[in-house]
Amino acid sequence: MHLLILAGDGIGPEITAATVAVLKAADARFGLGLKFEEAPVGYAGLKTCNHTIHPDIVEKARRADGVVLGPTSTYEFKDPHRGEVNPSMRLRKSLDLFANIRPARTYPGLPSRCGDFDLIVARENTEGFYADRNMEDGPGEILVTKDVAISLRRITRLCCERIARAAFELAQRRRKRVTIVHKANVLKVTDGMFIEECNRVAREFPEVAVDEAIVDAMMALAVRNPQRFDVIVTTNMYGDILSDLTAELSGSLGMAGSLNAGTDHAMAQAAHGSAPDIAGQDVANPLSLILSGAMLLAWHGRRTKTERFEAAANAIEKAVEQAVAAKQSTRDIDGALGTRAAGEAVARALA
């Protein structure tokens, strides 16, 4: 399996190095044949090739079997004409990574705010309110006058159908329940179309139970009783916000694994940001990207029907669980280790 490693900005290089160490331990144990190729993105890309993600890197990602992307300073990249684009957006759009899968679960030994739970947010990843990816050419935001701005939301049946299918296929492997999250009481046409497509796909999965929740009520329900949810399917912005909430309920946003997946390509990516205020201090939690790397291995295993990749992914998740329970982790989840040592603890538990 050929992996393209893009370390990113801020804490990105630190958590990426810890993740690569764990992937190498998995390779040694399971014989995965991993091959690693590195390329600069973010500020490193601007420095070396005057672009936060050069088109050559996108082509490398297209040829790879998977991508591992560390967080980048996307808020600071404001001028596309100077090569300042969001690397995550460019890869999601170029590789058509339409499904953003974000699990959230509690861990033994880590205090939980709302009791034990295990759920997944399946978030549409290529349209919605995200103005940097919902148009063929140009952004989906318009400055009409200096005092009037408009943001367009694109919803298509195709994108609704395929994220719904991804969610129901996930639920089929889990506890067989899907919750559709929307705001159709106000956004009657766009979210109405989303619900229609979800319910149409649901008819192909009669053994999977289906319910619905309006997005604002869903935030309260997730805090009150996260145990009731299995797979949550929703549009782009709702899923982005909701998955951060559920990750924090599990103990820390630093535990938030995330996989961006399409039909032919996938990318592991921590759900959190680049945290420049703690960069270089060896205190960042690497588990989000480590768990994302495990999800990437599992995706590749299912796609190629190669069981050892799924076994390796399961083993990484077990190793994370052991490290968390033994307090072999970073301070945000009651540990005392630095970033590098936390990654090494997972690698040791895996080996």
Q: pLDDT (tens digit, 9 = 90+) per residue, 168-210? A: 999 999 999 999 999 999 999 999 999 999 999 999 999 999 9
Beta partners for 335?
Answer: none
pLDDT digits (tens, 9 = 90+) for 74-97: 888 888 889 989 999 999 999 999
DSSP state of 128: B
- Mean pLDDT over residues 210-218, rounded? 97
Mean pLDDT of 319-333: 94
- Please determine, for residue 136, whether its predicted confidence score (pLDDT) is greater than 80: no
Q: Is 214 exposed, middle or buried (0-12, 13-18, 19+ CB in 10 A)?
A: middle
Q: For domain 113-249, give its CATH number from 3.40.718.10, 3.90.550.10, 3.30.450.40, 1.10.510.10.
A: 3.40.718.10
pLDDT of residue 216: 96
Q: Residue 351: its pLDDT value, please?
A: 86
Q: In this structure, are residues 347 and 21 in contact, taking their beta carbons and an 8 Å threshold?
A: yes
Nearest to 70 by CA among 84, 51, 87: 87
Mean pLDDT estimate for the chain: 94
Given the residues 107, 183, 191, 230, the one annotated as active site: 183
Where residue 138 falls among pLDDT bands split at 50, 70, 90?
A: confident
Residue of 43, 107, 130, 238 marked active site: 130
The catalytically annotated residue of 9, 191, 230, 240 is 240
From the candidates 132, 244, 332, 334, which is the catalytic residue? Answer: 244
Distance, in Å, from the CA atom of 34 to the CA atom of 309, rounded to the nearest integer, reads 11
Q: How far apart are CA 49 and CA 85, in angstroms?
A: 13
Residues 1-97+257-351, CATH architecture: 3-Layer(aba) Sandwich (3.40)
Q: Report the share of the chain in percent with pLDDT over 70.
A: 100
Give the residue with greater pLDDT, 32 vs 110: 32
Please state the rounded mean pLDDT for residues 162-168.
Answer: 98
pLDDT value for 112: 82
**Boundaries of CATH 3.40.718.10 in the chain?**
1-97+257-351, 113-249
> Between 148 and 84, whose confidence is greater?
148
Predicted TM-score of the model (pTM): 0.94
- State yes or no: pLDDT of 157 exceeds 90: yes
Let me know if 107 is a catalytic residue.
Answer: no
216 is known as an active-site residue: yes
Cα→Cα distances 148→54, 60, 121, 144, Å:
33, 40, 34, 5
- What counts of helices (H) and strands (E) characterise the chain? 11, 12
Q: What is the mean pLDDT of residues 104-121?
A: 92
Q: Mean pLDDT, to the nearest integer, of 17-21?
A: 98
The b/e string for 237-267 (b: 16+ C-beta within 10 A; e otherwise) is: ebbbebbbbbbebbbbbbbbbbbbbbeebbb
pLDDT of residue 129: 85
Is residue 244 annotated as part of the catalytic site, yes or no? yes
Please say if the pLDDT value at position 106 is more than 90. yes
CA distance 12 to 351: 24
| 116, 211, 216, 264: the active-site residue | 216
Query: What pLDDT is attached to residue 27?
Result: 98
Q: Which residues contact 176 (CB under 8 A, 6 or more apart)?
A: 207, 208, 209, 230
- The pair of three-digit structure tokens given for residue 216, joined into one six-digit string: 């604002």
Instruction: Please tell me the predicted confidence (pLDDT) of residue 236.
Output: 95
Partners of 5 in the β-ladder: 38, 68
Let me know if 130 is a catalytic residue: yes
Whether 9 shows a pLDDT value over 80: the answer reads yes
Check pLDDT > 80 for residue 295.
yes
pLDDT of residue 231: 98
